[in-house]
Chain A
Amino acid sequence: MSATTYVEAIRQGLWEEMVRDPNVFVLGEDVAVYGGAFKVTRGFLDQFGEERVVDMPLSESAIVGASIGAALVGMRPVAEMQFADFISCAFDQITNFAAKCRYRWGASVPLVIRCPSGGGIHGGPFHSQNPEMYFVHTPGLKVVAPSTAYDAKGLIKSAIRDEDPVIYFEHKYLYRRIKEELPDDEFLVPIGKADIKRKGKDISLITYGAMVHNALEAAKVLAQDGIDLEVVDLRTLVPLDKTTVLESVKKTNKVILLHEDVRTGGFAGELAAIITEETFEYLDGPVMRITAPDTPVPFSPPLEEFFLPKTSDIIRVGRHLAIY
């Protein structure tokens, strides 16, 4: 069995769920005839028919609104935002409707919204964002962000099976750049459970998404300096696996929080507050954040490179924290 790419893993997970449960259907812009902007749903129309693979008009609000309606009557929609950046058009549907149905009526909305997010592909400000925090901030939603092909497949399946709305951020930079051997047997990755991608004892680096790979690269370099980085991949932002995060902090006593999202209002701020509040007396150094700066994602490739957190940033901060 050859290695499976990240995008192929998502496709497989989606396919398997559509096979398993006839209530699962996909909808979005260009998902049916075109097979999806990134070819995630290539071949789905032929296999599952036009009632289960639906090309929608250019209206995210309509895509999500229709999905919520379908979900309320027992379907399991997997809505695609062509680029995560466009999700803002569906903001009201997601935050004021989908997120509050259970609280309001006890009604289940088993909706998944797939969002190709992230930069590094020279997409500019409207095709590179990481808008997860708007939804982390809204109670009633689950937010996941896999970093590996295995996690991508396991999480899409778990998201589809979840009874409540799940916003699924798939990092488009990783689509064809990472691959791994996946088990033949069915597997799920639980929502709400972080994964320690690299065990270490000197510094806990907490991150998610494409940045996991930068962290692992940096860990190799830091290891040569005798600095042993523990890389904690959150995988799920909401609900947060606080236990895994805090156990790691208690072990290493030093923390780096890393995300590709911009600094202000980014998840690192939330984590820093939790860590300081709950493990203050375990800290042997300041809680460090590595994030993008507070600007839109640049058009210009060198500027985008400057904007995105780099492996060299992680190495620099890691070395500083190690001698603090």
Chain B
Amino acid sequence: MPANVIMPQMGESIFEGTITKWLKNVGDRVERDEVLFEISTDKVDSEIPAPISGVLSEIRFQVGETVEINTVVAIIDDEDGAVSTTNSVDVEPQRSLANEGKASHVQHSKSELSKNQVAPRSSPLVKRMAREEKVDLSNIEGTGLGGRITKQDMLDYLSERNKMVKGARPLVQQAQQEFVSGITSSGDDEVVPMSAMRKTIADHMIASRRTSAHVTTVFEVNMTPIMILRKQLADEFIRKEGIKLSFMPFFIKGVVDSLKEFPVMNASLKGNNIIYRKEINIGIAVALEEGLIVPVIRGAHETGFMSLARTAVDLTNRARQKKLSPDEVQGGTFTITNPGVFGSLLGTPIINQPQVAILCIGTIAKRPVVINDAVVIRSMAYLSLTFDHRLIDGALADYFMSSLKNKLEGWSDSIC
């Protein structure tokens, strides 16, 4: 009996596979259990063996094509050479319709199928919706046959996008509605509506938590070398630059150099695409009386230490005076927050969307630490990095932090 070779189901939640390699050609002899082709799925890549011995008589899908599980991808003739085809009509195989010889099927040629592999497969309706709503179809995961983007996929995407665009206000409102009915205020309680800034922060924070997979890793940094250097240069700085030399420029420079080594920490996620930002624009969180604001040092990737220092001081001062321009609070690719100045040991900051990481600097305090098996006193600080685990895995985050730690701890005598 000739055999159909089908796309197997590699896991309970896997419904399709992509052919990555054919190890045999049409006409080749194959042995049972010999590896016939290789596939890639969401969970695992796999080698698929031939179900019977015989001659490979037909290959229906080529490398790079994605098919649903249980689709016939090839046919092997057994020894008597009888060819089995389930269709005589050129029916698109991905739709595993039982063929009763009636002409009531979809008829697509295979060339049409491979043409469609280039652009995300959808439909006239979906394309129109994409055009009208200015949606990039490559951002949408298709759940239709063969990964096609369906009407429902588009509608789901749009409703999610609307929630995000409105700062998750509807989501927040919905959650609030569930709580609000349970929240009461009694006589002496004072009910004060939120300020605009407060509302914006609230929406942004909750939206961020609902978007990113927040994970925080904590490193301990010996700040003593920097402290010594800073003390040495403090007077000269005030004299020459007219500004106080804080720790911030050191952190900013260290972060910028580490971001150059690990550019994924400076990226953004858009649907299934990773956007590697060309520029490094560092946001510095500044606490205000009524909230917080994050001015951005733009072009930090091509700025020297002195310039970073000056810009940081300038932005921070103007932030407190509410004299920042809209440009100056946009376009950040990485954020640093420094609650250490308020005494915080370490934090679990929330990522500033659409970035993928944020660094929190804890207070610098003298602590007993062990160096060369002796207990000594050093100025230590905890640095916590919250990162988006959708894009960044723990190992990479830790490499980044290690690199940063080494830079900070091994700061040379000069500050160039």
Contact residues of A with B, CB < 8 Å? 253, 263, 280-286, 288-291, 293-294, 306, 309, 313, 316-317, 320, 323-324
Contact of A320 among B97, B124, B125, B127 (CB under 8 A): B97
Contact of B151 among A253, A289, A309 (CB under 8 A): A253
Chain B, interface size category, equals 10 to 19
Hey, which chain A residues are within 8 Å of B128, CB to CB? 281-282
Q: Is B106 within 8 A of A283, CB to CB?
A: no
Contact of B125 among A253, A290, A293 (CB under 8 A): A253
Q: Is A282 within 8 A of B145, CB to CB?
A: no
Known contacts A320-B97, A323-B144, A282 near B106 by CB under 8 Å: no
Q: How far is the CA of A147 from the CA of B168 in the complex (A)?
A: 51
Contact of A284 among B95, B103, B106, B125 (CB under 8 A): B125
Q: How far is the CB of A300 from chain B (nearest CB, A)?
A: 16
Hey, which chain A residues are within 8 Å of B127, CB to CB? 281
Number of A-B contacts (CB under 8 A): 48
Contact with A along B106-132 (1 / 0, CB 8 A): 100000000000000001111110000
Known contacts A293-B103, A313-B104, A317-B104, A284 near B151 by CB under 8 Å: yes
Hey, which chain A residues are within 8 Å of B150, CB to CB? 284, 324
Contact residues of B with A, CB < 8 Å? 95, 97-98, 100, 102-104, 106, 123-128, 144-145, 148, 150-151
Which 5 interchain pairs have the tightest Cβ spacing? A281-B128, A284-B151, A284-B125, A284-B123, A281-B124
Q: Is B95 within 8 A of A282, CB to CB?
A: no
Given A286-B106, A324-B148, 10 extra CB contacts under 8 A: A253-B125, A281-B125, A281-B128, A283-B123, A284-B123, A284-B126, A285-B123, A293-B102, A294-B103, A324-B95
Hey, which chain B residues are within 8 Å of A320, CB to CB? 95, 97, 106
Q: Is B144 within 8 A of A290, CB to CB?
A: no
Q: Is B145 within 8 A of A316, CB to CB?
A: no
Hey, which chain B residues are within 8 Å of A289, CB to CB? 104
Q: Is B125 within 8 A of A263, CB to CB?
A: no
Q: Is B144 within 8 A of A324, CB to CB?
A: yes
Hey, which chain A residues are within 8 Å of B124, CB to CB? 280-284
Q: How far is the CA of A234 from the CA of B276 in the complex (A)?
A: 56
Q: Which residue in chain A gives the minimum CB-CB distance to B92?
A: A286
Hey, which chain B residues are within 8 Å of A294, CB to CB? 103
Q: Which residue in chain B gives the minimum CB-CB distance to A263?
A: B103
Q: How far is the CA of A263 from the CA of B101 in the complex (A)?
A: 14
A-B residue pairs in contact (CB < 8 Å), sample of 30: A263-B103, A280-B124, A281-B124, A281-B125, A281-B128, A282-B128, A283-B123, A283-B124, A284-B124, A284-B150, A284-B151, A285-B123, A286-B106, A288-B104, A289-B104, A290-B104, A291-B104, A293-B102, A293-B103, A294-B103, A309-B104, A313-B102, A313-B104, A316-B98, A320-B95, A320-B97, A323-B144, A324-B144, A324-B148, A324-B150
